[in-house]
Amino acid sequence: MNSSVASSVRRRTFLSVGSNLGDRVSFLRQAIESLPDVVAVSPVYETAPVGGPDQDSFLNVVVELDTDMMPLNLLGVCHRIEANAERVREERWGPRTLDVDIIWMADMEMDTERLTIPHPRWKDRRFVLAPMRDLAPELVSDEDLRLSDGSVTQTGDL
């Protein structure tokens, strides 16, 4: 395999997946089915939008991967999955059919124009922390959750 696509190191990785337009459940399911190396999926949370314009609530999950993909290649996969859901990027933090963000990768830190890992706002957002805590309680403290912004309600599984 091309070394720019994969490394010999597998990393525990977390992605946040959300939707607030169209058939939200279907968009989440299709995204998860399209992701490589899925280990676990959190319960679904209904979440109020944080920042951005007035808009409908989101459905959010966190997906755990065990992947050897390099971060920028995984970002490309995330963008292709969003494009397949006909995501339109008209307004920052605006409504969207699908949003797939790399949140955290084990033993990985990077800050480039295209990608920052860990995600720069992951500890600020309850819609990331609540489902991530279901999969990785050792990464999300009670204090992190208490200090995060937004409201979330667990709605069940996909």
Is 11 part of the annotated catalytic residue set?
no
Catalytic residue among 10, 29, 87, 121: 87
Give how far Cα 120 sits from Cα of 92, 125, 137, 152, Å: 16, 10, 19, 20
87 is catalytic: yes
Query: Does residue 118 have a cis peptide bond before it, meaning omega lies within 30 degrees of 0?
Result: yes
| Annotated catalytic residue within 99, 125, 126, 133 | 99
Give the integer Cα–Cα distance in Å for 11 and 154. Answer: 27
Coil/strand/helix, residue 152: strand
Amino acid at 112: T
Considering the candidates 101, 125, 126, 133, report the single residue annotated as catalytic. Answer: 101
Catalytic member of 24, 96, 125, 126: 96
Any idea which residues carry the catalytic annotation? 87, 96, 99, 101
